[in-house]
Amino acid sequence: MELKTKYQYTYFIHPYIVEKSKYDKYILKLLKDKRCEFKIFEKEKDMNIYNYFLPNFRNYVFPTFNLRGENLKEFKGLKAEAKSKIISNQIVACFNYNLAENVKGKVDNSDIRNLFQY
């Protein structure tokens, strides 16, 4: 009789602290990294987040919900340095990190270590 197993993917979260004086440079490094993408929240796509929080808190923590139309085009048209200044002044900055294809049983922290070199 075969044993039924459940496969579960686990990602390790490595917390770290970035000094305030180096935070702009760190955000700039994330913006220039092809694997990282700055998350711009949209009401239609992120309806569960939008409905969960009260409007004042939502505007405070997720200010990108308010980027629409011309403001969004203007933000996307900015250079990475200008974007990093704007993002570093926000309370929360969400980035999506696109993982490479998973290789079973392989652990490599070199990508994480490269994020610290700014």
Domain membership flag for residue 103: no
With a threshold of 0.85, does the pTM exceed it?
A: no
Task: Check: CB of residue 30 under 8 Å from CB of residue 88.
Answer: no
Domain membership flag for residue 49: yes
- Contacts for 14 with CB less than 8 Å, ≥ 6 apart: 109, 112
Domain membership flag for residue 36: yes
Domain membership flag for residue 88: yes
Q: pLDDT tens across 92-107, in order?
A: 889 988 877 665 555 5
Domain membership flag for residue 59: yes
Rounded to whole angstroms, the Cα distance separating 31 from 98 reads 13
Domain membership flag for residue 3: no
**pLDDT-derived band of residue 41, with 50, 70 and 90 as boundaries?**
very high
Count of domains for the chain: 1
Rounded to whole angstroms, the Cα distance separating 71 from 79 reads 15
Task: State the residue range of the domain holding 42.
Answer: 20-97
Q: pLDDT tens across 58-90, in order?
A: 989 999 998 888 999 999 999 999 999 999 999
Structure tokens at 33: 């990294």
Domain membership flag for residue 54: yes
Domain membership flag for residue 91: yes
Task: Check: CB of residue 58 under 8 Å from CB of residue 50.
Answer: yes
